Structure formats: structure tokens, C-alpha cells
Structure 1
Amino acid sequence: MTDIITAIGFSTGVSGKGDLSRLDAALGKLNEIGADAAELSLYGEDLIAGGRLLPDRVHRLEQICRRHDLRYTVHGQIVSNFMDERHLDLQKAVVRSMLELCDQVGATVLVHHAGQAPMADQAGRDRLDDLERQALAELADTARGYGVRLAFENIFAMGDHEYRQTPAEVAETVRAVDHPNLCTLIDFSHAYIECTRRGLDWRSQIRSMASATGHLHVHDSFGRPYSMTKFYEPSEAVALGIGDLHLPLGWGDIPWEEIFAELRFQPGTTMILELNADRYEGELAESLARARRLAALCNQRALAA
């Protein structure tokens, strides 16, 4: 029987300077600590211009990735949004280019954020949901040609003025599209924050996603929405426990062992620790070790079923 969780790794982060040498160093560090996988944060590496790939920089990316013994996934644009009617053609063009990048580096998953729009009435939300589903079906077909899966990630809203699907609705979208190259991505902290904000049972919400899920984002938090947004240093947000903190496992209050002993995901799932590798370099090895224990809980339960 295939293990449920088959690879564990880290997101690479971005330099913010379009300097691919930083990516090379980050991948080397992940190799050193024994990670299986890396999620390439290619939205920050200046590889696409106006929806088109930049061949020289893509060639350099390929060379860098070949130097490291890692499995790869790719995080698409943070602003990717199939509810963005005004820019939908551009949004699709960038996702197509991201899928081509996946093919170039042998990545098996492209992370795509669930949509966002100004809050509308029910009819307006239904129309936005339909727009997103049509785009997901179209791009999942493109992904199939590259042997890549789109992993549709749950996000949180910043307030009642903003439309975001709940985690359960994200899963409903994926099940409605019903495409083999589309799965859900559970970001546990995002779900915790959004469900706190909306007064929902977050454990029930992620439970509803599990069977459709083929990719995981793991990082700790306290599930507190952005009741304040101005911090002079990131450590101030950590001290208050407010927001999407991307903390090492154990720094927040997410009950990881309970969750991974309970939930069952799709076979071949990759678990990505979304930590700031520079800020938390001293905590990477322990977070990786804990993630391996969580994966073992999940895999052992599947074997016993």
C-alpha cells in the first residue's frame, strides 16, 4: 500500500532581489538537514514577464534544481486569483507559465490560492464560484499535459468586506470540478485563522477537506485573525500571537498529533513546512523531525485501516 505522506520538506522563500543564487543556497541547506522535498517559491524569482517565461533565467533555474537531490513542488503567485474577472486572462497565462516551469524542473504540484473578491450577495458569490470552477477545470486540463496537479489552497479573509471560501467550500469546489489533476491543499493555520474569524469549528472544516487533499502546508500559529495589522518588528506579532505567523511547530497551539492521528489524505501527499528558513534556521531540524513523526502517525493509521 502506498504511504499517504511520501515526502516532507520546506518552502524556499524568496530573496526579493531576483537573485537565484539565494535559491541555490537554500536548496543546499535543505539537502544538508535531510529534507525530501522543496517547494520552490517561484513567484518571487523574476522568471515570468507579462505572462511569458524568460528563457535564460529558466535555464539557470533548471541548472540549480538539478544540483540538489530533492523532490520539487512549486508555489504559484500569491496573487493568483480565478475570481479576478478584470485580469482573468492574465491570471490564466501566468498559471500556464508556472505549469511549464513545473515541467522544466520536474515539479509534481503547483500550489494555487483560492479566490478572493469584494464581498457580494449570494447571487454574486455563486457567479464568482462558477467563474473559478471553470478556470480550475481549464487549467487542470493543462496541468494534466505536464503530469502536474494543481493544489487548491484555503486562505483567510482580512475582514467581512472580503469574499473567501471557507475550507469546506474550497473542498466543495474541488469535488465539483472533479478533475484528477486538481486536489485541495490544507493550510492548517489559514483554516484556524479563518474559522476563528467566522466562528466556525475549524477541526470540522479541515476534516471535510481531508479526502480531497493531496498537499499540505504546515506551520504553527494561534489562529488569531488580524485584529491589528501594524507591527514594527515581526517578533511583535509573534509575541501577541496575532495573524499568519508561519511559526516552527510547537510555538503555536495547533494540536498537531491529534490532527495527524485522525485525518487521512490522498496517497502520495507531500507535506511542506512553510517556515522562514533564515529567521528560524535553528528550528528547522526539530520541525522536520516532528513532521516526520506526524507523517508516521498518518501512515500507520492508513496501514491499520
Structure 2
Amino acid sequence: MERIMSQASNIIAGVGFCTGNGTGDLSVLERALARHADLGADIAELSLYSEDLVSGGRVLPERIGRLVEITKRYKLGYTVHGLVCSNFMDMVNLPYQKAAMRAMLELCDRVGASVLVHHSGMAPMKTRGEMGLVDAMEREALAEMAEVARGYGVRIALENIFAMGDDEYRQTPSEVAATVAAIGHPNLCALIDFSHAYIESKRRGLDWRAEIRAMAPVAGHLHVHDSFGRPYTMTRFFHPGEAMALGIGDLHMPLGWGDIPWEEIFAELTFPAGTTMIMEITERFEPELPACLARARGLAALADEKAAVAA
């Protein structure tokens, strides 16, 4: 399947939404794609980690045919979100992690997806020297998998994630950028999740705008959703709306519902041409999708203007 997105702008090659957590019932995914296509989105990010398509590191052939049939019905480009628990700092399960990514890359190939999202690693916080060992393990695994991705014509997008507390090691956004730059493979790019960067920077007392500036030159994919950047000072909520009311955590809200200054950011940063943008907005905000898409188109225009000035 053709992997070129419809041209949303000179810099942002496609704007769209994620399909949300699945249940294994692919008719639910199909309804999401139909809605996104009707809205005029360019791309959809398929949340294939929750669709029961991979078992023990192998693609289930009896289910992949149905997925391919569905995706071909819509004039959308595709990206794929890999496992949410993806972790190349997981020494015990690293062989299983890599096998699962190989299967996800095969799925990307079957549906014509241009990008596979992969979460940056997590490990128990120990000494700085031990953290260097898990950093090196992650880089080696990413380099290996990027070469596999080259064979499929897919880019792995390494996403910055926040830690839940001081006992958990996560690379900062700028360190994720350094990992991508150090590997230097054409089939590996950084994924800026702006809200994740906001949360982790507040948690660690970092300048979050400087952190995302460090990621922009090596980015190739963006996750856009709103929050207040407040770390998890509490984690027990009886309904997601309670977390939103308190403004705590990774809220995945419509643009403008938090306090991220989107227009300022997109007027400031220069992304590589061909970067894709996905709004990771949860299903319960479905009525807000048209307004979010319109605003995202405006952000893409700002990225064009910034690139033109930089040129």
C-alpha cells in the first residue's frame, strides 16, 4: 500500500487522530476510521496493541486479513502505535520485546503504515552508571530494529514518556533526542509527545520548552493532546473526569482544554519536512474532534511559516 500521506502542509505531511483502545472487535476500529475519514483527516494512527493481532511475537494470519480489508476502504494514510508496554530497557523480556516489534513492523507493512510508535524505555532507578548500561541496551536494540524497519520502509518513532515517581528511570525528552541522534539511522526518528514532555519537565524541574526544542530537529512524528503538565501526585480516580477536574496527569484532552500554548510552540519550533501529527484524544471527547482538526491545520500552517523563515 502507498505510504505517502496527502500533503497537509509543506512540513506536516499528515494530520489525524488515533483510533483509541480497541477490544479486539475490528468493527469498532472500522467505525473510528469511517468517522476520521468523514471529518477529512489525512491519517489515522491504528492502536494495534489492543486488537489481538499478535500472539507470542507472531502475527495471527486469520485476523490480519480482516484488518487489511478494513484499512483499504478509506482514503487515509496510516501510522501504527506499538505496544504501550514496549521497553527496550527490559533486560529480562528484551527478546520478547523485539519479537513483538518485528510483528508490529510486519503489521505496518501489511496496512501500508509509514510510522511505528515505540515508547522509550523504563527501568528501576539505580546509580547513574547502571542507567548508562540500560541506555546502551536500548540504543543497541533500537539500531537493530531500525534496520529491520528499513526493509519495510517504515520509521520507528521513539516517544518520550514521563516517570511516575523518583524510583523510576525515564530519559528526559532531550535525552530521547540524544538517543535518536546517536543512533543516526534513517528509519528511526523522535516522537514528541508535548504533554508527556510537559509532565516530566515539571516533575523534574526542567525547562520544558527547552526540552522539546531539543527534540524538534530529530522529530518525525508528533502526539498532540492537552493537559496542565501536573505530575501524578495522586493516581486513584473513580472517573477520568475527576483527573480532568483536578488537572492531574496525562489527560489526553482536546486542544485548548489544558494550558499548553500550542500556537506559540508551533511558531517557535522547526520540524523536519514530512513530520506527521496525531491527536491522541480519547473517545469520550468525540464531539470535539472537528474543532481539534481545524486547530491542528492551523498549527501545521504555523510550522510552514516557521520553516520558511528559517530557510
1:97-150 CA distance string (max 9 Å, x none): 000000000000000000001001011000000000000000000000000000
In structure 1, the partner of 2:26 is 20
Distance in 2 (CA, whole Å) between partners of 1:119 and 1:77 is 22
Residues 258-297 of structure 1: pairs in structure 2 closer than 5 A: 258-276=264-282, 278-297=283-302
Q: 1:46 and 2:56 equivalent?
A: no
In structure 1, the partner of 2:133 is 127
Residue type at the aligned position of 2:302: L
CA shift, 1:6, in A, is: 1.4
Distance in 2 (CA, whole Å) between partners of 1:139 and 1:247 is 32
Q: 1:10 and 2:17 equivalent?
A: yes
1:152-173 CA distance string (max 9 Å, x none): 0000000000000000000000
Q: 1:198 and 2:171 equivalent?
A: no
Distance in 1 (CA, whole Å) between partners of 2:60 and 2:263 is 43
Query: Normalised by the size of structure 2, how large is the TM-score?
Result: 0.96
Where structure 2 has 5 or more consecutive residues not aligned to the other structure, the ranges are: 1-8
Q: 1:208 and 2:214 equivalent?
A: yes
Residues 145-224 of structure 1: pairs in structure 2 closer than 5 A: 145-224=151-230
In structure 1, the partner of 2:62 is 56
Compute the RMSD of aligned alpha carbons.
Answer: 1.0
CA shift, 1:249, in A, is: 0.2
Residue type at the aligned position of 1:220: D
Match of 1:256 among 254, 262, 270: 262
Residue type at the aligned position of 1:39: E
Give the SS at the match of 2:95: helix
In structure 2, the partner of 1:98 is 104
1:178-217 CA distance string (max 9 Å, x none): 1000000000000000000000000000001100000000
Distance in 2 (CA, whole Å) between partners of 1:275 and 1:255 is 17
**Consecutive aligned runs of 4 or more in structure 1 exceeding 4 Å deviation:** none
CA shift, 1:299, in A, is: 0.8
Distance in 2 (CA, whole Å) between partners of 1:47 and 1:117 is 27
The alignment-based identity, stated in percent, is 65
Distance in 2 (CA, whole Å) between partners of 1:127 and 1:81 is 14
Q: 1:242 and 2:248 equivalent?
A: yes
Give the SS at the match of 2:266: helix
CA shift, 1:14, in A, is: 2.2
Count of equivalent residues: 303
Residue type at the aligned position of 1:187: D
Give the SS at the match of 1:288: helix
Distance in 2 (CA, whole Å) between partners of 1:286 and 1:142 is 38
In structure 1, the partner of 2:4 is none
CA shift, 1:281, in A, is: 1.2
Residue type at the aligned position of 2:284: R
In structure 2, the partner of 1:83 is 89
Query: Normalised by the size of structure 1, how large is the TM-score?
Result: 0.98
Give the SS at the match of 1:32: helix
In structure 2, the partner of 1:107 is 113
